[in-house]
Amino acid sequence: MSYRNNPLIGSLGPILTGKQIQELLTIRPAYDESERSLATHLRPHAAFSMRRLFVPTPQHTSVVAEIDILLRQGYVHRNPLDLNYRRQVLRDKMLLKNNNVPPERFRTGIQLGTAAMGPAGTGKTMSFECGISNYPQVINHCYEVSGANIAFKQVTVLKLNMFQDASLKALGIEFFNQLSATVNEPVREKWGIDRCNRNDIQSRIYLACMEYCVGMIVVDEVQNISALGDNYATVLRYFVRIMNTVGVPVALIGTNTARALIDADLAASRRFLGNIPAFTPFVKGVMWTQFIKELWRYQYLNCYTAVDGLDELILELTGGIPDLVVKLYLLIQLRLFGKKSEVIDKSVIKQTADLLLYSVRNRIDEIKGTVPASAGLARTLAGANEEFMQHANEECSRIGATVIFADAKPAPPVEIITAATAQENSDTSLIGAKSISDAKGRLARRGQLGLNR
């Protein structure tokens, strides 16, 4: 198999089965019915746990499978232990340092891109984050190959978050910001990124992908990227050139607006034809029934209300957007805590929906993707999130509660230090090196580092 004897692929771990992918994606926060009898000011703290609930659909599971395939396929022709590849990397680095761009070696290869498109709030970003979490962020390698000592650092996935009306230069700066944070090195400052134009930054992205063995680039909210006067095809070709030149897969996450822009450029869009189906809101059926059943069990009212007869109203009011469904259900409970009657009925649902969704009520069809999105939709969605937090804080203050969220900590780098061959004259001084800097220091002192910049 083409995956053998490639440390970049071997360090990714085993390929997940369908059942394991389902388990990776499914997030069911702990729930205890006894929490319904907690003091009124404590129940909001328990109720906010439902915000973490994630019930995967076939679209979500296909994202994780696609990430794994593209990540491994992107490494097939990039093996730092192969002498010919190391020589090619050194030649390409010299070209880039002389302001020349390497050839597009992967133009005729397999498709190395994919796209996840659909309305906001349907779990596109969440499914990517779950898939990415299956791999270490940074892996430090150190090997002996036929008497040569090789040390390098592998960054599996870089996820870039694009802000409203971001430019191509902003994309490059975001790339190096995320790279610096991931490897815990001031790469942006050391490489002088702020003094570069967008073309210079692209050359440095090529160099960084080679230097740090980047496995995949994920660009979220891709519809926010503008080309500073050029059409959207310029943006697509920017990504395609990265895939064709370095062989790094690129995954795009965006709304249906971005899908329309990608489909308009057939030359570039073929690179983003993957196995990820379009994300859609829930409609009445088995998937909706399963989702609302999972969500409804997180009820913290002192009088339990069954979902029978209420799910269709919630589906209608929220347009089937999972994020809006969860927020509506949570805010309903927050508004009922401490009231004389803590019972969910249709009037309470409608009143809460009017309070929560008034800013997006007239734009539900745009959010669902059934009609083209107009300008300002992203700001409207951001405003809806702010409105939700404002109403949630008001209800919590009413009963003397304050909700505090904890920040997740990234996983530490993984160290892989081993001997690739067992020759009698092999130098094993690198085995047991404490870190990549330790290994590089030992190699540099003996002048045997094979991947110096």
Q: What is the pLDDT of residue 273?
A: 79
* CATH class given for the domain over 58-279+420-446: alpha beta
pLDDT in tens, 172-228: 889 999 999 999 999 999 888 888 887 788 888 988 999 999 999 999 988 777 654
Give me the pLDDT at residue 181, please: 93
Residue 374 reports pLDDT greater than 80: no
Read off the pLDDT band of 278 (50, 70, 90): confident
Which residue ranges make up each domain of the chain?
27-55+282-398, 58-279+420-446
pLDDT at site 111: 74
Report in angstroms the alpha-carbon separations of 325 from 42, 70, 186, 196.
23, 33, 41, 44
Going by C-alpha positions, the residue among 365, 329, 364, 361 that lies closest to residue 348 is: 329
Mean pLDDT (the chain) is 83
Are 70 and 216 contacting, i.e. CB atoms less than 8 angstroms apart?
yes
Q: Are 247 and 105 in contact (CB under 8 A)?
A: yes
Render pLDDT for 416-444 as a digit per residue (tens, 0 to 9). Answer: 766 544 344 444 444 444 455 555 555 45
What is the pLDDT, as a whole number, of residue 17?
95
Contact between 363 and 379 (Cβ < 8 Å): no
- Cβ distance 300 to 46 under 8 Å? yes
